[in-house]
Structure 1
Amino acid sequence: MRLEEQSTIVRELVPVEYADLVVAVTELGGTTVLMVVLAVLFWSGQRRRSALVISYAVAGLALLLSIKTSLGLPRPPEDALLVALEEEREGYGFPSGHAFAATVVYGGLVAAHDRTRDVRALAAAGALVALVSLSRVVLGVHYLGDVIVGAALGVAFLAAMDRLTGGDPRRGFAIAVGLALVAVVVAGATEDSLLGLGGAIGGLCSAGWIDRLPELRTRLETGALVAVGGGGVAAIQIAEAAVSFVPALVALYAALVAWVFLAPIAVGRLGIDAVGTFRA
């Protein structure tokens, strides 16, 4: 079912000299890169659509964590690794979280922008998902069957969320809260389960402000928003590294998502006028 023999063939196609490139590709499906992409899109003005996909990502994180923990299938053996990646050995191996997340985010952006009939958009999203998925096999942290099931599950999850949310991010985050609570019960108070719960709560509490946020008027204002927003995210992540108390971690993760949505208010108060200068 996990296609072990076929995975060996794929791994042997890429020499170790290309390990750095493969690691860079795999990061395109990692939580940090995906959330940065969605946050920047949100800050650049694509608010409601980006917020919807963020709700998909948070809900999907919780769902996949529950599935992986319930199945409890191991990763490939250590001798399958292309390079030593200790952090990639943690957790279970089936289905692939990176393949699932890449499908949900990149595919979700295509769906949220009503471009499901655009061949180029579908091809671009499909190429990103394929590259991320194959990188996981090449690195030796997943079997080929893991990434195929992860991507297929991502497509099914997108279809379900599209129907259930009706394009409303608040519904997406409400679903995410329910899935995150299940994940905490199934997987315990892990970093991922707390991230899912906190992110879902933060999104649910702040998504109602999206349509009332001040509009961006200049490129300078957009740049300032990305800078201020990114700085706030970095500050929260630094605080997270110093906290181990579970309720505090949930609160920090909630603040992280809420800050992404509410950062435009902070930038609006900086007083950048329509020609790109600061008002007195």
Structure 2
Amino acid sequence: MRLEEQSAVVRDAVPAEYAEFVASVTELGGTTFLMLLLAVLFWCVDRRRSALVISYAVAGLALLLSLKAVFGLPRPSADAMLLPLEGEHEGYGFPSGHAFAATVVYGGLVSAFDRARDGRALAAAGALVVLVSLSRVALGVHYLGDVIVGVALGIGFLLAMNRLTRGEPTIGFAIALGLSIPAVVLVNGTSDVLLGLGGSIGGLLGSQRLPALPALRSRLEGAVLAGLGSGFVVLIKTVEPVVATVEPLLAVLYAMLLGGIFLAPVAVGRLEVAALESQRT
């Protein structure tokens, strides 16, 4: 089922000197990169559509962690790894989280931004999903069957969320919260499961403020938002190891992360107003 022999063929096809490049490709399906990408799109492009895909990502994370715990299938042996990667050999291997997340996020962006009939958008999203999926096999942290099932589950999950949310991010985060509760029970206190729980709470509260958020007024404001917002995300990631041993605090930190992403336009808008008022006086 997991296509071990075919996976070995993929691993053997990648020379060792390309290991670092493959490791960088795999980050395109990682939690940190995808969340930062969606945050920048939220700040600078379209808030409601981006918030909807963020809700898909958080809900999908909770669901996938539950599925991994239920199946309980290990990763390939450490000997299969193309290069040593911290934490990549821990946890369960089926289905692939990176393949699933890449499908949900990149496919979700195509869907949310009404580009499903755009061949170039579909091709770009598909290429990213394939590259991320194959990079997981080449690195030796998943079997080929793991990523195929991850992609298939991602497509099914995306279709279900499109139907259930009806384009409303708040509904997406409510679903995420419902999925994160069994994940907390099934998975023993990892940072990812607490990201699902805290992120769904922060997103649920923050998404209710979407109609009141000020519209993006200029490219300069977008650049300021992206700069300050990215700094906020980095700050949260810096604080994360400090509170990681206290699970409730880590969940609160992740709730602050999502809430901060949604409320950053308010903070920047107030800074602009204060700057204008100081110029007039």
| TM-score between the two structures when normalised by the length of structure 2 | 0.96
Alignment-derived partner of residue 260 in structure 2: 259
Alignment-derived partner of residue 170 in structure 1: 170
In the TM superposition, what is the alpha-carbon distance from 1:79 to its structure 2 partner?
1.2
Q: Conserved in 2, the CA contact under 8 Å of 1:221 and 1:272?
A: no
In the TM superposition, what is the alpha-carbon distance from 1:132 to its structure 2 partner?
0.2
Q: C-alpha separation between the residues in 2 aligned to 1:279 and 1:30?
A: 42
Q: Does residue 1:179 correspond to 2:179, yes or no? A: yes
Alignment-derived partner of residue 195 in structure 1: 195
Aligned structure 1 segments of 4 or more residues deviating by more than 3 angstroms:
none
Q: Does residue 1:236 correspond to 2:239, yes or no? A: no
Q: Does residue 1:130 correspond to 2:130, yes or no? A: yes
Q: Which amino acid aligns with 1:247?
A: P
**Unpaired stretches in structure 1, ≥5 consecutive residues:** none
Alignment-derived partner of residue 110 in structure 1: 110
| Count of residue pairs the alignment pairs up | 277
Alignment-derived partner of residue 227 in structure 1: 227
In the TM superposition, what is the alpha-carbon distance from 1:173 to its structure 2 partner?
0.3
Q: C-alpha separation between the residues in 2 aligned to 1:279 and 1:154?
A: 49
Alignment-derived partner of residue 208 in structure 1: 208
RMSD after superposition: 1.2
| TM-score between the two structures when normalised by the length of structure 1 | 0.96
Q: C-alpha separation between the residues in 2 aligned to 1:227 and 1:278?
A: 20
Q: Does residue 1:24 correspond to 2:16, yes or no? A: no
Between 1:58-67 and 1:213-222, the stretch displaced more is: 213-222
Alignment-derived partner of residue 39 in structure 2: 39
Alignment-derived partner of residue 156 in structure 1: 156
Alignment-derived partner of residue 100 in structure 1: 100
In the TM superposition, what is the alpha-carbon distance from 1:272 to its structure 2 partner?
6.0
Q: C-alpha separation between the residues in 1 aligned to 2:55 and 2:149?
A: 22
Q: Deviations for 1:23-70, whole angstroms, at most 9, x for unmatched residues?
A: 010000000000010000001031000000000000000000000011
Instruction: Report SS of the residue matched to 1:86.
Output: coil
Q: Conserved in 2, the CA contact under 8 Å of 1:63 and 1:183?
A: yes
Q: Deviations for 1:138-168, whole angstroms, at most 9, x for unmatched residues?
A: 0000000000000000000000000100000
In the TM superposition, what is the alpha-carbon distance from 1:279 to its structure 2 partner?
4.6
Q: C-alpha separation between the residues in 1 aligned to 2:199 and 2:90?
A: 22
Q: C-alpha separation between the residues in 2 aligned to 1:132 and 1:278?
A: 45
Q: Deviations for 1:163-207, whole angstroms, at most 9, x for unmatched residues?
A: 100000000000000100010001122211111000000000110
Q: C-alpha separation between the residues in 1 aligned to 2:86 and 2:233?
A: 26
Q: Conserved in 2, the CA contact under 8 Å of 1:55 and 1:176?
A: yes
Matches within 5 A, 1:6-17: 6-17=6-17
Q: C-alpha separation between the residues in 1 aligned to 2:211 and 2:13?
A: 49
In the TM superposition, what is the alpha-carbon distance from 1:278 to its structure 2 partner?
4.8
Between 1:66-75 and 1:264-273, the stretch displaced more is: 264-273
Cα 1:78–1:217 change in 2 (3 A) is same
Instruction: Report SS of the residue matched to 2:208.
Output: helix
Q: C-alpha separation between the residues in 2 aligned to 1:232 and 1:85?
A: 26
Q: Conserved in 2, the CA contact under 8 Å of 1:11 and 1:137?
A: yes
Q: C-alpha separation between the residues in 1 aligned to 2:259 and 2:78?
A: 39
In the TM superposition, what is the alpha-carbon distance from 1:86 to its structure 2 partner?
3.2
Q: C-alpha separation between the residues in 2 aligned to 1:7 and 1:211?
A: 48
User: What percentage of aligned pairs have identical amino acids?
Assistant: 65
Q: C-alpha separation between the residues in 2 aligned to 1:272 and 1:8?
A: 59
Q: C-alpha separation between the residues in 1 aligned to 2:276 and 2:25?
A: 40
